[in-house]
Amino acid sequence: MQHQRDARGRQLVHPGPPHPDRIESFADGLLRGEIVLPAGAVLIEAVAAGLAPLGLRSAALDLRGLVLGPMNFVMPTYSRTPDHVAYYSETHHRPGPVRVDEGTATYGARDGAPFLHGHVLWQDADGTAMGGHVLPLDCRIAEDCTIGFAGAREVAMEARPDAETNFTLFGPVAGEPSGGDLIVARVRPNEDLIEALEAVAARHGVREGRILSLIGSTVGARFEDGLAIDEVPTEILGLNGRFGRDAAGGARLDLEIALIDALGRIHRGRPGRGENPVLICAEVFIERLKAAQEE
């Protein structure tokens, strides 16, 4: 793994050429609601059965209260080859039931079929705080659950091979978006997490807003309270994120995240501005809370 540093902090060199579009985002109308996931169903099949009839091509899913069993998941780890700067752990298994305390997911499509990318937090049977990346084809609903969603019909999230990172990643694709109160975005590697999300808000004229879903990874982490995570592979989950305006009238984000490091530890806090480059990607859904003209 090669490391490259600049004045802003930690940077990584990925195996492929950097993509020219570092931040991709589109606005669309927001459709909000709830779906029931029936016990015994495969996770992605249950979600798709609820969302596909609505014509949604992308959605942020609120996974709080989801109960899985069995649940299969992975955690972040170091890559054993130069093909990636970081990778996934071996698959971990829990027979269930596992009750999700916090979690969100991106819903979209991969290879023409419904797919989702979700990060969740829970407590194991012995009370240990755990977190991971759920495998949507290898998890089943343990009992009937109701989850919330906020989605778009014209902006899709499609998983495609990414030459820069050598992963298949979700990214927003515009059909005929007419603008609206839901912004769907993807941030690429080495962009600062906070500054990139503020750039998305500024691009779409968001004066007041909130993050509905934020999942991705950062190069370790630096938190406002001084906590430093030096293990490079991470997975992050947005817990709370609100946009307002700074003294100069620009977009200002107050963000709290949970981070799963390469040792499986869970950290919570506010990431420092200009100190947290994205590792592989960050997927974000933003809701506009006050009407403003699109820039």
Nearest-angstrom CA–CA distance, 242 and 103: 17
Nearest-angstrom CA–CA distance, 178 and 135: 33
| 267-295 residue pLDDT tens | 999 999 999 999 999 999 999 997 544 44
pLDDT for position 260? 97
Within 10 A of 10 (CB to CB), how many other CB atoms are there?
20
Which residues face 192 on adjacent strands? 277
**Contact (CB, 8 A) for 186 and 36:** no
Structural domains in the chain plus CATH codes: 31-152 (3.30.1330.80)
| 188-228 residue pLDDT tens | 999 999 999 999 999 999 999 999 999 999 999 999 999 99
DSSP H or E run through 134: strand 129-134
Which residues face 234 on adjacent strands? 261
pLDDT for position 59? 98
Which tokens go with 7? 């004045």
- Residue 109 reports pLDDT greater than 70: yes
Q: How far is CA 38 from the centre of its chain?
A: 24
Q: What's the predicted TM-score (pTM) here?
A: 0.94
